[in-house]
Amino acid sequence: TTKNHACFYAVGDSEQVFQLYYPVPTMDDEAWGTLSAEEGSKYCSELAQQLRNDGWDEKFVLPLEHAEAVIRLGLFAPNE
């Protein structure tokens, strides 16, 4: 099962922003930032398949198939 949570919100009649939050064990500064169009497409396709396999409703997965700009950000809080 996917161990994350998500936020989805509309920013226009035909535009939506969505954020998916995943726990990470360590902070890797090289893994974060704007992805190229090819990287973003590949990342979103793989993520969409994972979410479908985990039973997510299609209305939440479908935006991943149409993402135009993908930014991967890191928010890390160590478990101490």
**pLDDT tens figures, 20-54:** 777 666 666 666 788 899 998 998 899 899 889 98
Q: How many residues does the chain have?
A: 80
Pairwise pLDDT comparison (6 vs 61), residue with the higher score:
61
What is the percent of the chain with per-residue pLDDT over 70, rounded to a whole number? 78
Q: Please check whether residue 19 is in contact with residue 32, taking contact to mean a CB–CB distance below 8 angstroms.
A: no
Q: Which residue spans within 13-69 are E strands per DSSP?
A: 15-21, 33-34
Indicate the pLDDT class of residue 75, thresholds 50, 70 and 90: low
The pLDDT of 6-26, averaged and rounded, is 76
pTM across the whole model: 0.71
